[in-house]
Amino acid sequence: MSESHPSPELPPAPLGTARPTRRRLPAEWEPQDGVLLTWPHPATDWAPRLAEVEEAYVALAASIAAWEPVVIACADERLAGHVAGRLSRAGVARERVRLPVVPSNDTWVRDYGPITVFEAGRPLLLDFTFDGWGGKYASRLDDSLTRRLHAEGVFGESPLLTPSIVLEGGSIDSDGAGTVLTTRRCLLARAAPGATEATVGAELLPLLGAERMLWLDHGGLEGDDTDGHVDTLARFCSPDTIAYVRCPDPGDSHFTELSAMEAELRALRRGDGQPYRLVPLPWPAARHDPEGARLPVTYANFLIVNGAVLVPTYDDPADREAVERLARCFPDRVAVGVPCLPLVLQHGSLHCATMQIPRGVWPS
């Protein structure tokens, strides 16, 4: 478990109420210094498909580097040299890439990378405990990756806080104005025995500098081993807009749960009491792994970067519609499709493989 440091926050107000704070969790669409990745290597679960997944990571890194810098954690010096060569051959400018050497168990940096908040206008990195999604997978190296990068100066002089509680970055989504969207199933699964919505909220709200949490009870994708991360289901596109996964097929096993989630989203209200503008995302065809298990293919796992929104694509007829719908959600950005079909073989996608670093963290 991570070392614990006390939070300087005021005591939390009752759940769902505003409270004075100097801390704020930014929205993903706010200006960024860059994006953090962890490159796949032979000691990860990607070993049997390393060549295939590397192609996806090259495309992902190149798509990010077209808009902002990318920092890629590499397991050793040999891998760092290999990645540098791959990206150079793909036309990625060397000055857009940093390749720190740090060991890792796997590549899903969204869930163990730093969650950045601003305190009195200055960035503060939160390094929550990562336990391999409830002990499902090895996680010791991943849990230490942010601290190792910080010790090597990758995040400049930005301070690091290590709360002694479990939180995965993919389990929350912020509107930048004090509201956090999450799923009750995931957060309560990671909490201490006997925890409730109220106790979890009271613990997390001060750390994140948020005023309220919106909880979803329904949703979930077959093949998802995160216990229902919200970044596979519903995402803020602006303080008043949520894009979400919708299943229109009554014969699909997802139909009942995702229809119930859609009803929950319709019932949510913004801080001013108004309903959210809801944008349904298209439903791709079912994909299965070699053993026949269904994979969690979702267009909600998009990544917002400076000037663009990167949309996962799956060699599916619905890809084009997904890119077009998200382009309308972000009229000030270019929507770019990024091939992500290899990533879902390990039950993740584009957002899961990345962690944005807000403006002001990395040294210039």
Are 24 and 218 in contact, with CB atoms under 8 Å apart? no
Q: 23-358 falls under which CATH superfamily?
A: L-arginine/glycine Amidinotransferase; Chain A (3.75.10.10)
| pLDDT at residue number 21 | 55
**The pLDDT of residue 133 is above 90:** yes
Check pLDDT > 50 for residue 14. Answer: no
Average pLDDT over residues 1-20: 34
Tell me the pairing of strands 234-238 and 241-245: antiparallel
Q: How confident is the model at residue 22 (pLDDT cuts 50, 70, 90)?
A: confident
- Of 177, 277, 168, nearest to 230 by C-alpha is 168
| pLDDT value at 19 more than 70 | no
* Contacts by residues 196-204 (CB-CB < 8 Å, ≥ 24 positions apart): 197/15, 198/15, 201/12, 201/15, 201/16, 202/12, 202/15, 203/12, 203/165, 204/165, 204/167, 204/180
Mean per-residue pLDDT over the chain, rounded: 93
> What are the residues whose beta carbons fall under 8 Å from the beta carbon of 105, sequence distance 6 or more?
43, 44, 132, 137, 138, 139, 140, 141, 142
| Percent of the residues in the chain that have a pLDDT greater than 70, as a whole number | 94
Burial of 296 (0-12, 13-18, 19+ CB in 10 A): buried
Local confidence band at 364 (pLDDT 50, 70, 90 cut-offs): low
Our measurement of the distance from residue 355's CA atom to the centroid of its chain's CA atoms, rounded to an integer in Å, reads 6
Give the per-residue pLDDT at 293: 95
Residue 34 falls in which region: left (phi positive, over 0), alpha (psi -120 to 50) or beta: left
Q: Which residues, 6 or more positions from 172, have their beta carbon under 8 angstroms from its beta carbon?
A: 115, 180, 181, 182, 208, 230
CB 269 within 8 Å of CB 254: no
Q: Find all residues with CB under 8 Å of 31, minimum gap 6, and list them.
A: 306, 358, 359
pLDDT on residue 193: 87
Written as six digits, the tokens of 278 are 């809801």
Domain ranges of the chain: 23-358
Q: Residue 132: is its pLDDT beyond 60?
A: yes
How high is the pLDDT of residue 20? 43
According to the model, what pLDDT value does residue 192 have? 85
Encode pLDDT of 142-197 as tens digits.
Answer: 999 999 999 999 999 999 999 999 999 999 999 999 999 999 999 999 998 889 99
- Residues 125 and 23: beta-carbon distance below 8 Å: no
Query: Residues 200-241: pLDDT tens digits?
Result: 999 999 999 999 999 999 999 999 999 999 999 999 999 999
Q: Does 8 have pLDDT greater than 70?
A: no
